[in-house]
Amino acid sequence: MGDETIVVVGAGVLGLSSALICQQHLPKTKVVIVARDLPGTESIDYASPWSGAHYRPIPDVTPQGIHEASLARRTYEHFKTYAAGNPDASISFITGMDWLESPGEEYLTAKTRYQDIDEFRVLGPEELPTGVKWGASYKTWCVNTPVYLSHLMRRFLLNGGSVIQIQLKSLSEAFTIQENVRTVINCSGVGFDDPASFITRGQTCLVANKASHTVTRQNANGTWTFVIPRPAYGGTIIGGTKEERDYEVSPRLETRQKLLETAAKSFPELLDENGQFRVIRDIVGRRPSRTGGMRLELENVEKGRHIFHAYGAGGRGVEMSWGVAEEVLGVLRKCISSPEIKSRL
């Protein structure tokens, strides 16, 4: 792959992670990021900076789920090492807790499924809040996503990477950005004209109240309430909604009120001396969702040209980011000599 230029489409967490890993392990290539939105941009469609973000183990009951759980675990292991050597990345390891009011069977068997997760244990009945039927505690990470994205971009640029800020109309344009482009990594979020892709609106609230650990609570009505501290003095995220194909851009005041009221009942220890949350801002973002799960595969578009698709991660982009980047790298190392791989939309 000597003298080749690799173009990464998208500067969210998947694009930045993929660009960095290619820089590190494919030193004879030039890596260029092409993106509409960059770290520091406040666009509702630039999903990564709106993320909480943290790791939460989810039961893997399908082949796709098993694969995505593996990607999340690989990211978890990478973050343990990376956080120790890069304090400016704003990754912090703390206690995470799950409280479920109506747990499915997949959670009731979670003890054996997750026994390899650091400090994982199922909570005893005496440790559960009123109304909660099942709970677990484990070691998790949380990250201040705007800080982390800027950190990744800074490393990419200092390592000799270049960035072109434009909006592509098609993936084929990426091959014309510079000379000798044979490989494009598609980290565009919702992809290009993929009928399986759709957006999921998420609304959360950033507050100044401090939290020492993450808590995710499943409510009996099917909604979820969560608390995620953002390291590096980033406040605390109170969430949240999942609204498929909802294109409303502005935060809904009634949603904020409902989120804070529910969180106050579930986590009263977070309230200030006046019994209030100190709101910094409302957050609205569009998660890049996809029917059937994330698309992660190589496509041979024509002789000698490849596109590696890595998009549609929904709300788990940060959570799976380094695992995805490792898969991208593994395939790119082989793609020149590999036989054609048919694209599966």
Per-residue confidence band for 343, with pLDDT thresholds at 50, 70 and 90: very low
| Terminal Cα-to-Cα distance of the chain (whole angstroms) | 27
CB 234 within 8 A of CB 283: no
Give pLDDT tens digits for 70-100: 999 999 999 999 999 999 999 999 999 999 9
The pLDDT mean for the chain works out to 94
Q: Say yes or no to pLDDT of 116 above 50.
A: yes
CA–CA dist 262, 268 (Å, integer):
10
286, β-bridge pairs = 201
Mean pLDDT of 212-232: 96
Element (H, E) at 293: none
CB 153 within 8 A of CB 14: no
Mean pLDDT of 150-171: 98
Q: Say yes or no to pLDDT of 22 above 50.
A: yes
CA–CA dist 9, 164 (Å, integer):
10
Specify the pLDDT at position 58: 86
CB 200 within 8 A of CB 289: yes
Give pLDDT tens digits for 278-317: 999 999 999 999 999 999 999 999 878 999 999 999 999 9
CA–CA dist 288, 273 (Å, integer):
38
Give pLDDT tens digits for 232-257: 999 999 999 999 999 999 999 999 99
Per-residue confidence band for 60, with pLDDT thresholds at 50, 70 and 90: confident
Instruction: Name every residue whose Cβ is closer than 8 Å to that of residue 172 and which is 6 or more positions away in sequence.
Output: 301
Element (H, E) at 56: none
Per-residue confidence band for 277, with pLDDT thresholds at 50, 70 and 90: very high
What does 106-164 look like in DSSP terms, one character per residue? HHHTHHHHSTTSTT-EEPPGGGSPTT--EEEEEEEEEE-HHHHHHHHHHHHHHTT-EEE
Do β-strands 224-229 and 236-239 pair in parallel, antiparallel, or remain unpaired?
Answer: antiparallel
